[in-house]
Structure 1
Amino acid sequence: MKKLLTILLFSGKLLAQNGTEIYLLDLSDSGGNLTLSNPKNITNRLGYDNQPFFHPTKPLIYYAAMQDGQSDIWSYNYKTGVGVRITNTIDSEYSPTVTPDKKYLSCIVQRKSNGDQDLVKYNIDNPIETQIIFESQKTGKIGYQAWLNPKELITFVLGEPQTLHYQSLSTKKDAIVASNIGRSLHLIPKQKVFSFVQKIDEKWLIRTFNPSKNTIIDIAESNPASEHYNAWTSNGIILESKTTEIFSFDAIAKQWKPVVLPENLPKKKISRMAVKGSKIAIVLDE
C-alpha cells in the first residue's frame, strides 16, 4: 500500500498517513433505519483523497487530493462521472466548503513558505479570483470551518488546546465557544445551529451551539473508540464512523445503532462522511 507524507490539519504536523479513497453511495431511510447501497469509488487512485463536500444544488462533490506532496481541490460530477481540478497552486488547499451564497469555495490554505493556515475563498466560476477571509497570523491557524450564512461561521483553530470560534465578518466578532474540540463541525440541516465534538473530562460529547442564543446543548456521547467524525442526514439524523462501521443516533431511544452497509463495500476503516439527500460520500482507507 502506498504511503504519503500528508499534512494533518488537526495537529499541524507532518505524519505518514495511508492513502484514502472517496466512495459515493445511495442512502435510504426507512423509519430511521438507514441503509447504504451501490458503492462507487470516485477517486480510485493511490494517495490521499479526502474531505468530501457536496455542492448544495449541483451534482458535484468537492474534495482535497494530494499529489507530489501537495494538496489541491478537485470536483467530481456524479451525473457525468467527470473529475476536474479546481486549484493548482504552490500552496496546499484543504477542507473545501461551498459558501452559503453558492458563489465561492472556502478552504484552508496551508502556505508552503511558512506553514500558516489561512481561510481563503475561491470564486467557483473563476477559481483564479481569491479572497483571504482570515489570516492565521491574526486569528491563529485554522483547520476547519462551517458556515451559518455569508457573514457568520465557526472555525476550528489549532492550539493547545484546539478551540472552537464563532466569527462574524460584519461585526468582526471573534468569540471562543469551546476548547478541546474535535474535527467535525457542521451546520445542522434546516436549523441555524451548529454541531461539534468536545472532550470533557474523559468523555467526548457531540454538542450543539446556537449563535443567536449563545447556548450549548448536548446531543449524544461520541463512541470513545471512534475518531469522532460525524455527518447529518437531511432528516436530521447524526451519523458517526467507527473503524469499518457507521452508526446513526436514535434520538428517541438515546442510543447508537448500526447503519447497514453493502457487502461489496471494501472492509476498510471509514473516517469522514458527507451527505446530500439520498447520496452519501464516505472516506475509506486504501
Structure 2
Amino acid sequence: MKRLASLLVFLLPFSGLIAQELPNTQVYLFEIEQVTDSQFVFRNPKYLTGFNPYGYNNQPCFINNQKLYLSVRFPQSKQTDIYALDLEKNTKLQVTHTAESEYSPTLMPDGYHFSAVRVELDEVNSQRLWKFPISRLNNGEPLLPFVPNVGYHFWLDAQNVALFLVDQPNYLAIANITNGSIRQMTPNIGRCFQRSPSGRLVYVHKVTESEWWIKALDPRTLESQNIVQTLPGSEDFAILPDGTILMGNGPRLYKYHPRKDSGWVLIGDFRAYKISSITRLAVSKDNKLAFVARPGQSSGW
C-alpha cells in the first residue's frame, strides 16, 4: 500500500476546554471493505488535516459521501470554526468565521442545514444549539435559546433532538425544537450518539467509573436496553448499516454485532501509521471511515 500516494494535504464538554489549550488531534480517512463477519480491510488511507498539523481537528461529520465537516482551531487562534473538506476535489472551505466558537457540526434531517454547538462570549460561556444553512446564505439562528448548557447533540427526527446537557451530573435529554419541551433521561452519559438500523438512539451510560454500557433507547417508549459494555475507557463509536458497532481503543479498532458476536472483535491495528488514541468515528453511506487520533512522534505518512 503506497501511503504517500494516498496522502491528502488540504491547503469534554467545551466549557471545560475553553480555559485550557485544546489537544493536538488529527483526522484520518480509510475506505472499509468487509470481507467476512470478522475480517475487514482498510484501504486508501488519507491524512485529512495536513493544513493544521499542530492544531485541533475534531468531530468529523459526513454531510454526504463527498463532503466532511470538522471542528478546527489553529494554534494561533482563540476560537474554533467549522470547516468543510471536499474529499474528491481535495479542497477545504471555512464554513463559519465568527468571534464565538462552533463545535459538533451535525447534518440536520432536512439535508439543507447543519447544527452546531456555539460557545458564546457571555460571562458563563453559554453553549447553545444553533442551525446554519449548508448554502451559507445567512448567519444561522439559535434553536433552543433557553438551553445554555448543550454539550453534544444528535437528531432523532426533524423536531426532536437528543442532547448531552452539561450539569452535575451530565445527562441525556430529549428536546422538541417546535414546542420547546425537554425530557430529562439518563444521567452520566458519554458524548457519542448514533442511530441503530431500527431507529433507536444509541449512547453510552457510564454506570460507574469503570462500568460503561452502550445502550439503545426507543424514541417511542423512551425505554433503554443494554447492548454491550464498552472497551475500557472508550466512549466513541460508529454504527455500520448492518448494525455493526465500531469502537477504537488506543491504535486498534474493534467491532461488535449484537446478533453475531459474543464480545468485541479486533479488526484493525493502525500502529503502522503512527496513529494512537482513536476517537470520534464517523462512517459515510459509501463505507468511508473517518476518525480522530493523536499522532505519534512521527506522522508516518
TM over 0.5: yes
Name the CA distance, whole Å, in 1 between partners of 2:273 and 2:33: 16
Contact kept in structure 2, 1:37 and 1:262, CA below 8 Å: no
| Percent of aligned pairs sharing the same letter | 23
* TM-score where L is the length of structure 1: 0.90
Name the CA distance, whole Å, in 2 between partners of 1:73 and 1:267: 24
* Gaps in structure 2 of 5+ consecutive residues: 1-11, 296-301
Equivalent pairs counted in the alignment come to: 275
Post-superposition Cα deviations, 1:136-186, rounded to whole Å, max 9, x if no partner, equal xx3241011111211111010001100000112234321011000011111
Distance 1:11 1:259, change over 3 A: farther
Match of 1:40 among 37, 46, 57: 46
Match of 2:177 in 1: 169
Contact kept in structure 2, 1:86 and 1:127, CA below 8 Å: no
Name the CA distance, whole Å, in 1 between partners of 2:275 and 2:292: 12
Matches within 5 A, 1:122-161: 122-126=132-136, 128-135=138-145, 138-161=146-169
Question: Residue type of the partner of 1:245?
Answer: R
Contact kept in structure 1, 2:237 and 2:281, CA below 8 Å: yes
Higher strand share: 1
The answer to whether the aligner puts 1:199 opposite 2:206 as a matched pair is yes
Question: Residue type of the partner of 1:82?
Answer: T
Match of 2:223 among 186, 193, 215: 215
The answer to whether the aligner puts 1:49 opposite 2:57 as a matched pair is yes
Match of 1:241 among 218, 236, 248: 248
Contact kept in structure 1, 2:30 and 2:290, CA below 8 Å: yes
Match of 1:27 in 2: 32
Distance 1:8 1:213, change over 3 A: closer
Name the CA distance, whole Å, in 2 between partners of 1:10 and 1:271: 20
* Gaps in structure 1 of 5+ consecutive residues: 1-6
The offset of 1:263, in angstroms, is 6.4
Distance 1:20 1:231, change over 3 A: same
SS of alignment partner, residue 248 of structure 2: strand
SS of alignment partner, residue 185 of structure 1: strand
Contact kept in structure 1, 2:251 and 2:269, CA below 8 Å: no
RMSD: 1.8
Question: Residue type of the partner of 1:110?
Answer: V
SS of alignment partner, residue 134 of structure 1: coil
Match of 1:4 in 2: none
